[in-house]
Amino acid sequence: MKKVLVTGGAGFLGSHLCEALLERGYDVLCADNLFTGNKANIAHLMGSPYFEFIRHDITFPLYVEVDQIYNLACPASPVHYQVDPVQTTKTSVHGAINMLGLAKRTRARILQASTSEIYGDPEIHPQTEDYWGRVNPLGYRACYDESKRCAETLFFDYHRQHRLEIKIVRIFNTYGSKMHPNDGRVVSNFIVSALKGEPITIYGDGRQTRSFCYVDDLISGLIRMMESPEGFTGPINLGNPEEISVLELAEKILMLTGCKLPLEFRPLPMDDPRMRQPDITLAREKLDWHPRVSLEDGLKETIAYFRKLIA
């Protein structure tokens, strides 16, 4: 039985990943400092003899024995990562160094949950893995964007210098149950506002585009990447290539919730990307992976989750 460490394991993606790994017969160690993670996300797993939770901040070394490491620890929404931008950078950079050091000592295979934000406000569309990005290193989003870029650099340097088995995944917008209701992400914002009968707030004119991947599809891609042949390191895009404008998303959520509410438009935040769409050709070829859950079906599941949460 493989022993797997999931950092950020009590968060949105991490908790879903812990569930999926347990279902596949792995022995799972979940590490999280609970800054944005929530024990409620993993409470139902605590009774399993093959699941263990440790409260830990990966900016400090962690001494455990594992076969695989999924490094997901880092606040991922602007509302959270801009609260303490210095700590955000430390989590991505110092955290990567500590997890890579652990992988080096245990000879574990390690996967880095990188992000589509490393592409910044892109000049090419859709975004392919060989695009170097267009990121403002001085802006309010830079603590997240640039630290994730630096983490990718560290992963490849450890791979070249210490022959570590690394995997790098660039995650595009993902949604589903266990999202934080106040994380500032567009899907959760729109759903929570609709269910509370509040106006839907749109930043900018709403014509900026995003691509939304349901969480079950994303988790499947992460596991497939971890289990892919040793020589394939990535980076690889994981996301849904179906593109939709923010305004269209708001209208779809209002339709699915049965609400009729006004739209409020506010200025676009600094460095907010105008376009975001993954090219997943590499994921199709190397992992035989593509999203299977439609946006409408995924939104229905997510709305049902938030209805229970708000009630």
For residue 43, which amino acid is it? A
CA distance 221 to 174: 12
**Catalytic residue (choose from 144, 158, 175, 214):** 144
70 belongs to the catalytic site = no
Long-range contacts of 119-126 (CB under 8 A, 24+ apart): 119/170, 119/273, 119/276, 120/145, 120/271, 120/273, 121/271, 121/272, 121/273, 121/274, 122/273, 122/275, 122/276, 125/275, 125/277, 126/241, 126/243, 126/277, 126/278, 126/279
Active site residues: 144
